[in-house]
Amino acid sequence: MEDRLTIAGEALRSRLILGSGGFRSLDQFERAIRASGAELVTVALRRVEQAPGGLYEAIERAGCRVLPNTAGCFTARDAVATARLAREAFQTSWVKLEVIGDRRTLLPDAVELLQAAETLVGEGFTVLPYTNEDAVLARRLEDAGCAAVMPLGSPIGSGLGIRNPTAIEMLRQAVGVPVILDAGIGTASDAALAMELGCDGVLSATAIARARDPERMARALRLAVEAGREALAAGRVPRVDHVARASTSDAGLPDLTPA
């Protein structure tokens, strides 16, 4: 059987989820989608005057599925209303739930987030909440019926990678639903680390869209996610401190001392 990321019973063809924000052109975006191999691509909803159009079509052309987010919402109420609009617009019950608590750091608001999750689950949504690295909150979100949890590695767009690997590991151990590392990924090694910590997938927007060469970074992250997943499955060697462990035996060392 294949090793695929399965959310709410649906097996995805990639463990990398692509964020559509920050690309310099639609063409560049489409090339990045293909290079990433992603199946899910996040989008936001905005008034038509500010939303050029063509994005949704581009995503479908690439054979991908839209994962609407609730970016910009600061209350459970707004997030819920936005999720409902998205369901109507894209005919999908999946939503990346964002309820922000602070404009400067864009960190999630635990209380509003949980409340919004409960409401949306009650309305039949498949909820993927963007959350902090808090194992207890993650368990509560799972208990509320969320289909996955999306902890941040570091602030959105910061490129700081995973600032607290211990917390991500504890969160991973605390829940049964898939864990998607969201926010903070800056480059390939960050994505590989996320998978090695036990995450089931990685979402990347900024790291790809704002790289000098987005298409190439998309490929890099696709490879890194695979690499990290393989490494986890392979069972890494233990870390040993302060001493080396020879990879060559001394047995049979020739004696080459001149007479």
Partner 1 sequence: MRVVINGAERELPDGARVSDALRAVGVRADERGVAVALDAEVLPRAGWEETTIPDGARLEIVRATAGG
User: Which residues form the catalytic set?
Assistant: 96
Task: Considering the complex, state which of residue 59 and residue 225 has its C-beta at the smaller distance from partner 1.
Answer: 59
Nearer to partner 1 among residue 11 and residue 89 (C-beta): 89
Question: For residues 247 and 170, what is the distance between their CA atoms, to the nearest angstrom?
Answer: 33
Return d(Cα 84, Cα 221) in angstroms, integer: 32
Q: What is the nearest approach in angstroms of its own copies to the Cβ of residue 165?
A: 8
| Two structure tokens written together for 232 | 């986890």
Say which entry of partner 1, its own copies, none residue 111 contacts (CB below 5 to 8 A, set by partner kind): its own copies
Query: Is the four-CA dihedral 199, 202, 203, 206 of positive or negative sign?
Result: positive
Q: Decide if residue 246 touches partner 1 (CB under 8 A).
A: yes
Considering only residues 157 to 176 of the shown chain, the ones binding partner 1 according to CB under 8 A are 157
Give min distance, CB of 73 to its own copies, in A: 9
Token look-up 């409902």 returns 84
Give the footprint of partner 1 on residues 185-244 (CB under 8 A).
Answer: 203, 205-206
By CB under 8 A, tell whether 121 contacts partner 1.
Answer: no
Whole-angstrom Cα distance, residue 207 to residue 117? 27
Query: Cβ contacts of residue 133 below 8 Å, gap of 6+?
Result: 151, 152, 153, 164, 167, 168, 171
Which of 119, 40, 38 is CA-nearest to residue 73? 119
Is 125 one of the binding residues for partner 1 (CB under 8 A)? no
Partnered with residue 135 across adjacent β-strands are none
Least Å distance between CB 21 and partner 1?
Answer: 4
Element (H, E) at 127: strand 126-131
Among 1, 235, 239, 247, binds partner 1 (CB under 8 A): 247
| Inter-residue contact 149 to 138 (CB < 8 Å) | yes
Query: Smallest distance from the beta carbon of 176 to partner 1, in angstroms?
Result: 26
Subset of residues 7 to 26 that bind partner 1, contact rule: CB under 8 A: 19-23
Contacts with partner 1 by CB under 8 A lie at 19-23, 29, 42-53, 55-57, 59, 66, 68-69, 71, 81, 84-90, 156-157, 183, 203, 205-206, 246-249, 252, 254-259
